Structure 1
């Protein structure tokens, strides 16, 4: 690991029964790792910590979802935190580049990486969307201003993350980044996509895409309820209600709706304008 990244970045990983994937990827991380185990039963997290002295293991009694990352960030003692899942890792030199960007630009809270997927290293389609963002390009950063990100492939400014409240248990998991991104933008922070910062991702092929799609749709509606204008909430609900799977997702919104309403803090108009500029 490099002296710069080692002293400036902690990698926080959350896992749930990560199995061989976790024990394989964790040794490729180049900075100290805080590994948050979300109540696993397979023993992989213990093996990963035992075999890799740069890994600090924190075991939780049950699965608390994305908010487990908040604990890792609070425990970190570095100004920046890189996130990863048990099937992702950072390319050599990537965190040094992210540190340089964050050190040079104190108004940036999040650096999103270019993600290379699988053994063949194909670029994740979401990265193409970020690279083509209609938001103005920052001449001082080799990348684009963005309004969202994928959690496992970002480096965050620790204090900005904590001030924004981290991830919340209303969303729990899948799409948890959106509310955090909105709160960071509302607080005046910038988020950037930096294609020369590279993360690798080797996702499993047996994921239930339909279930994940419904969960993501549920969380879009909940996030809109917490942070967007009422017309945007209505648009999200209408789009979901237009098809049967979307209506099934809306039913799962109902139990979490009271908590979402209690946490409602709409973003200012300037953030809504920025979201509209990218069609969100």
Structure 2
């Protein structure tokens, strides 16, 4: 892994520099990445910006280094998926890190408000941003789903969640590092679910924060057959690693149903089975209150899907998954 580290990104004093570092995850999206980094470096908070490049083979890294010499670039040799955040966050010099992908950027003032909220609520480890389109009228369907299925009432700094959007959140740097980052084997689906369970089990809170506003380009794309199967498989693995047997069996049954629908029951089922010993070796059941929280959310998701099918469809197309 190669790291470009300009002198301008040196360690700041405790409170003299920016409060938040923004980490942008990208791979082979040069235009989007340039636009997003330009927006982030122009923010009034003047955050430190780190680009976590997942082995781009286009001109992303070269153009970024030329146009934004103040931006630190962490370049992986291949596609690490969500685990691409790990190395970049380990280098962040600030107490808080805002994570986004190359099509998402934070609104002016959002990072400052998020830092103040995290200062005031030390039990909160992750703020999930409110993600909207350019005109701020259309809320990202994943945010609608998170808000609709939140088991807690709207209280400062926001409703409690059982999960979060890894590409639109603000996290406590020390907590993320203590967590060990995202699991590399789940980095293309399910890594943030495992992280959320571990955060909740450790006594931290995850909340949806309206004041942490982010914008996103509308990039709704359908999943491939392999992606559908990988998401379902990884969800089952997460359940086997952290949840009671009842929940693990339910997640496995759902995964097998997805494999059958995708006409990949044999290969995907074999891949699921191959990971059983790996998951059992990492099994650490979360406390009862976390299990109850996840069950509440799953019940709410089923109700939303039944009552608001249009939102559920957009939610799935936006790259989210619930079992």
Compute the RMSD of aligned alpha carbons.
2.2
Please say if 1:21 is aligned against 2:32.
yes
Please say if 1:33 is aligned against 2:49.
yes
CA, structure 1 residues 134+70, in 2 after alignment: closer, same or farther (shift >3 Å)?
closer
Which of 173, 180, 191 matches 2:195? 180
* Partner in structure 2 of residue 197 of structure 1: 212
Separation in 2, partners of 1:114, 1:6: 25
Q: Equivalent residues in 2 for 1:143-158 (5 A)? A: 143-158=158-173
CA, structure 1 residues 5+118, in 2 after alignment: closer, same or farther (shift >3 Å)?
farther
Give the alignment's TM-score, normalised by structure 1: 0.90
Displacement of 1:121? 4.7
Please say if 1:256 is aligned against 2:271.
no
* Partner in structure 1 of residue 304 of structure 2: none
Separation in 2, partners of 1:85, 1:239: 29
Segments of 5+ residues of structure 1 without an aligned counterpart are: none
CA, structure 1 residues 86+78, in 2 after alignment: closer, same or farther (shift >3 Å)?
same
Q: What per-residue deviation string (whole Å, max 9, x for no partner) do you get for residues 184-212 of structure 1?
A: 00000011001121111115355545443
Determine helix, strand or coil for the equivalent of 2:117: helix
Q: Equivalent residues in 2 for 1:88-167 (5 A)? A: 88-117=104-133, 121-137=137-153, 139=155, 141-167=156-182
**Structure of higher CA gyration radius:** 2
**Contact 1:89–1:200 (8 Å) recurs in 2:** yes
* Partner in structure 1 of residue 65 of structure 2: 49
CA, structure 1 residues 132+11, in 2 after alignment: closer, same or farther (shift >3 Å)?
same
Q: What per-residue deviation string (whole Å, max 9, x for no partner) do you get for residues 18-55 of structure 1?
A: 22111121111132111111111102122123212331
**Contact 2:25–2:100 (8 Å) recurs in 1:** yes
**Contact 2:232–2:254 (8 Å) recurs in 1:** no
* Partner in structure 1 of residue 92 of structure 2: 76
CA, structure 1 residues 262+147, in 2 after alignment: closer, same or farther (shift >3 Å)?
same
Determine helix, strand or coil for the equivalent of 2:237: helix
Separation in 2, partners of 1:251, 1:26: 41
* Partner in structure 1 of residue 233 of structure 2: 218
Determine helix, strand or coil for the equivalent of 1:148: coil
Structure 1, 38-47 or 252-261: larger mean CA deviation: 252-261
Structure 1, 167-176 or 72-81: larger mean CA deviation: 167-176
Q: What per-residue deviation string (whole Å, max 9, x for no partner) do you get for residues 48-95 of structure 1?
A: 232123310121222222222111111011000000111111111111
Displacement of 1:258? 2.9
**Contact 2:117–2:157 (8 Å) recurs in 1:** no
Which of 251, 259, 277 matches 1:236? 251
Determine helix, strand or coil for the equivalent of 1:122: coil
**Contact 1:97–1:197 (8 Å) recurs in 2:** yes
Which of 61, 68, 83 matches 1:67? 83
Determine helix, strand or coil for the equivalent of 2:246: helix
Separation in 1, partners of 2:121, 2:183: 27
Structure 1, 213-222 or 189-198: larger mean CA deviation: 213-222
**Contact 1:5–1:99 (8 Å) recurs in 2:** no
Segments of 5+ residues of structure 2 without an aligned counterpart are: 1-14, 300-323
